[in-house]
Amino acid sequence: MKWLRLPPVFVAPFAIAVVALASAAAAQQPENNDRAYWLIGQWSCESLGHSHGTWTFSRTDSGISLQQSFKTPDNLSGQIAEDYHFEPRAKRWVWTSTQNGPGSLAVARATPWTGEQWIFEGTNSKTPLPAPGSDVPPQTNVRALRMVFTALGDGAFRRDFERIENGTWVTSNLSTCKRLISPTAFGRVATGFAWRR
């Protein structure tokens, strides 16, 4: 069997291209021990704000999306969408939500989830809609917020929303969730905290 020998002028560019592709692929993925992808799947959640809901975490091209379907104690139902976008260069997650209605935007950031807790810190801004015919520009109210995920074993977690009162972080709302559907049903295989296709 004869081996084809390529001149260095062909081999070097090929090797560089392979390394570049591998580096680009790695840069698009969060760290391998990021527990965030453990959330992928469907969960049954009990919350202070709404008594019961189903949360579905799904993988996206840029991170994770969350769709919440819930029912209040007054038997009113609703849905909330949240986005968890991973920034590979900064190696951080950015969470955004508009769940408080028009003119509302919550944005918070966190490093990858590698411990028992995943802590986001950011702001919640609310700009009320102006009254019909009003010439007075609306004033935006901005408050600091913190969102904390805490793992409760392999099949449950708790999420707290916190705000500052008298210089101290206090819980303003919390949800406790138990897994309904495993992440393997969403096209990923769990390997500890890491995920592979």
Tens-place pLDDT, residues 113-123: 999 999 999 99
Assign 6 a pLDDT band (cuts: 50, 70, 90).
Answer: low
Q: Is the dihedral of CA 55, 34, 149, 95 positive or negative?
A: negative
This prediction has a pTM of 0.73
Q: Could you report the per-residue pLDDT of 71-89, keeping only the tens digit for each?
A: 877 787 888 899 999 999 9
The two three-digit tokens of residue 192, written as one number: 């500890």
| CA 153 remoteness from chain centre | 19
Assign 100 a pLDDT band (cuts: 50, 70, 90).
Answer: low
What residue ranges define each of the domains in the chain, with the CATH number in brackets?
Answer: 11-196 (2.40.128.20)
Specify whether the CB–CB gap between 46 and 54 falls below 8 A.
no
In angstroms, the Cα distances linking 5 to 15, 30, 48 are 15, 38, 69
Residue 197 has pLDDT above 90, yes or no: no
How many residues are recorded in the chain? 197
What is the C-alpha to C-alpha distance for residues 40 and 2, in angstroms, rounded to an integer? 50
What is the C-alpha to C-alpha distance for residues 9 and 39, in angstroms, rounded to an integer? 48
Q: What pLDDT, on a 0 to 100 scale, did the predictor assign at position 168?
A: 94
168-181 vs 41-47, strand pairing mode: antiparallel
Residue type (1 letter), 32: N
Q: Could you report the per-residue pLDDT of 40-70, keeping only the tens digit for each?
A: 999 999 988 667 889 999 999 999 999 988 8
